[in-house]
Amino acid sequence: MFTTIQKRDGREAPFDETKITDAIFKAARAVGGEDRQTAMELTIEVLKLLKKKYNGSRFGVEDVQDIVEKVLIEGGHARTAKAYILYRDKRTRMREAKGELMDAVGEILEETNRENANISNSPSAKMLQIASAASKKYYLTRLIPDEMSQAHLRGDIHIHDLDFYGKTLTCLQIPLLRLLSEGFNTGHGYIRPPKRPISAASQAAIILQSSQNDMHGGQSFASFDRDMAPFVDGASDHDLYQAMEALIHNLNSMHSRAGAQVPFSSLNVGTETGESARQVAKNLLLAFEAGLGNGENPIFPNIIFRVREGVNLNPGDPNYDLFKLAIRVAGKRLNPTFSFMDSSFNDQWGNEVSYMGCRSRVMANRRGPAVSDCRGNLSFTTVNLPRIAIQTERNISHFYRRLGEVVDLAIKQLYHRFRVQSRLKVRDMPFIMGQGLYLGSETLGPEEYIEEAIKHGTLTVGFIGLAETLTSLTGRHHGQDQEAQTLGQEIVGFMFEKINEACENYDLNYTLLATPAEGLSGRFIKLDRQEFGLIPGVTTKEYYTNSFHIPVDFPISTFDKISLEGPYHKFCNAGHISYVEMSAPPLKNPDAVEAIIKHMRDSDMGYGGINYPVDFCTNCNLTGVINEKTCPRCGSAHIRRVRRITGYLSTTDRFNDSKLLELADRVSHL
């Protein structure tokens, strides 16, 4: 009857009616049917309609499928029709994914995606991002359940590091002391324990790099000063300074992920009072203050200075001199940031709580000891708060019902990912698991699954855009109105309670995160603007405000901003951070910085820092705030502009478009 059919790409192919029969039969079998004879009879009906509608003219694959659906529905085969439609939809999405993948590859070949400001534009970075694009398409179309993948694609949720969904974990607090004391193996031979500070510092850099190659997130030393102390006993300040200088230079030059980025590294220091540990902290801070070879601002490591009353907060405390030094360095180099050990939610663990530069925190543990060392986040997924507020049109009860549904979906998706991750074997993460860096992995063999180790990690639900959410619900955000502030705390508290319920239901370490939205801040608002249009104060910018922060362009004083953001930290047990913006480095006003840091502590924050511009002319080494496009001293246009992006430092040429616009909107809080 028919000889040819037009394929989707426009080419003609031989017409084969058995393909229609096969498709109908497969759909019938999917709902319990086994009758091929019926499928053949239905095929005849399809052919009749094709002849009636297209006799003598061309038709395509989609035309045939439309008629198959019509025949099934009108013939009383509703269940088979539904199965056929679902299968057709899935195949369509798979084809679209292939096309989108090719488009993504083309864009990457032209310029590396800037979703992560620590990714370079090198050839290896491009190759890795092409693999990343393919990996994302595979997981969304082949592995992740439809309900979850569609929620991600719509923008209800965002599955972070989707390309690594079933390959590895997010981040880790590394047991540096044990590795330096016992030695370690990166795959090509045993590295024996160091005997000098310079060797210990070099090995520390190698450990960070090796760990980063096994994971997709950050790597951190929970107590760098404590862990380095045994290897610097009796060393001079000169030798120790050289070791710390070498470490900083290494962490800004050595690469991980096949050359795509430098290791995302964090070092926690500040509360160890032994003399050797104090020497480590002091010389690390001094070397960071000095900068790189020409005085450039280091990007890594993130230095987190622990603050605790009775240890370093006030004059007379044994480490108050280190606190003052940390303040001085922060006033010149943006780092260190400051964590508060005696906040209401950290105090019970003494000085054990450690952070990472992006804000991650891992502490409580349902399945083992509550420690920072040897643990990290497994994965995290962010809820699009503004979208829920827009959809529920200022009906608060509907908002909470819908928020509960989306958070529950994110919890289920994280558990799905946990089950996938649990099927990884020790040999899949040869350094992290093979060397026993993860709690519980030290007793596992190369072919054993890693579930016994990763049960100690965290599964995290994050959120973004509280300010826009409140504006959508009430007309004002929490920086403008006390009632909005009260509602904001209730919303975040509601999510925190949902997380605690998940801990009980799954017996896993679920936590809530103030998401460090980088590429996501622009992705969510773009999707929401396409669906809902321009909504004043909600979708009119190119980005959603980070987590619970006051909008960056809102005029507010330093102390008021800190007071308003402080109450949210206790809910976000997976991580949190707050900043204040300054128009220039506070080099000559350390007392003001100290007052800011102490007010953060008094406001029950867990982690905070100060932001300001740091510009550097690579031609003449002029450092300062360079507002012009060229250097005022030498006229060069080669200006290296360092800013904090979502918790870590980067240069503005690596910011994505949304974060560049957010950066331009930032106002000083002084």
Phi-psi region of 269 (alpha: psi -120 to 50; beta: other; left: phi over 0): beta
Interval 646-660: pLDDT, tens: 888 889 888 888 888
d(CA 563, CA 478): 11
**Position 63 in a domain:** yes
For the chain, the C-alpha Rg in angstroms (whole number) is: 28
Each residue of 222-251: pLDDT tens digit?
Answer: 999 999 999 999 999 999 999 999 999 999
| CATH number of the domain to which 490 belongs | 3.20.70.20
Contact criterion met (CB below 8 Å) for 263 and 209 = yes
Distance of CA 389 to the CA centre of its chain: 23
- Give me the pLDDT at residue 129, please: 74
Q: Which of 35, 62, 88 is the last residue of a domain?
A: 88
Residue-by-residue DSSP string for 577-620: -EEEE-SS--TT-HHHHHHHHHHHHHTT-SEEEEE--EEEETTT
- For 128-150, the pLDDT digits (tens) are 777 777 788 888 888 999 999 99
Beta strand 649-651 with 639-644: parallel, antiparallel or unpaired?
Answer: antiparallel
Provide the token pair at 451: 């579930």
Closest by CA to 428, choosing from 412, 406, 408, 451, is: 451
Domain membership of residue 630 (yes or no) is yes
List the structure tokens of 456.
């100690």
Top pLDDT among 326 and 117 is at 326
For the chain, percent helix, then strand, then coil, each to nearest 5?
45, 15, 40
Domain-located, residue 336: no
The verdict on residue 306 lying in a domain is: no
The predicted structure's pLDDT at residue 167: 94
Q: Rounded to whole angstroms, how far apart are CA atoms 25 and 45?
A: 14
Is the pLDDT at 102 greater than 70? The verdict is: no
Q: What percent of the chain has pLDDT over 90?
A: 73
640 part of a folded domain: yes
Unique residue bearing structure tokens 């509608």: 53
Is residue 459 within 8 Å of residue 422, measured between CB atoms?
no
Starting at the edge strand found earlier in the chain, the sheet holding 509-514 runs 157-159, 377-384, 458-464, 509-514
- What pLDDT digit, counting tens, does each position of 291-323 carry? 999 999 999 999 999 999 999 999 999 999 999
220 with 173: CB under 8 angstroms? yes
**H/E element, 200:** helix 197-212
* pLDDT for 59 beyond 70: yes
The amino acid sitting at 271 is: T
Given its phi and psi angles, is residue 192 left (phi above 0), alpha (psi -120 to 50 degrees) or beta?
Answer: beta
Q: Give the residue with greater pLDDT, 57 vs 580.
A: 580
Q: What is the pLDDT of residue 516?
A: 86
Residue-wise pLDDT tens digits, 432-453:
999 999 999 999 999 999 999 9
- What's the whole-number mean pLDDT along residues 376-403? 97
Confirm if 75 and 45 have CB atoms less than 8 A apart.
yes
Compute the distance between CA of residue 411 and CA of residue 405 in angstroms, rounded to an integer: 10
274 lies in some domain: no
Does residue 135 sit within a domain?
Answer: no
- 67-75: which pairs have CB atoms within 8 A and are 24 or more residues apart? 68/20, 68/23, 68/24, 68/42, 71/42, 71/45, 71/46, 72/24, 72/27, 72/42, 75/42, 75/45
CB 468 within 8 A of CB 386: yes
SS3 191: strand
User: Is there a domain that residue 439 lies in?
Assistant: yes
Residue 252: per-residue pLDDT: 93
pLDDT given at position 259: 54
Total domains in the chain come to 2
Q: What is the pLDDT of residue 134?
A: 79
Residue-level pLDDT at 612: 95
Residues 6+ apart with CB under 8 A from 256: 209, 212, 213, 262, 263
Which of 46, 62, 88 is the endpoint of a domain? 88
Q: How confident is the model at residue 58 (pLDDT cuts 50, 70, 90)?
A: confident
Q: Is the pLDDT of residue 111 over 70?
A: no
Q: Which of 54, 88, 122 is the C-terminal boundary of a domain?
A: 88
Residue 26 has pLDDT above 60, yes or no: yes
> Average pLDDT, whole number, for the chain?
92
Strand segments, DSSP code E, in 214-365 are 219-221, 265-269, 302-307, 337-340
pTM for the full predicted model: 0.84
Three-class SS string for 351-415? Answer: CCCCECCCCEECCCCCCCCCCCCCCCEEEEEEEEHHHHHHHHCCCHHHHHHHHHHHHHHHHHHHH
Structural domain for 390, as ranges: 377-575+610-665
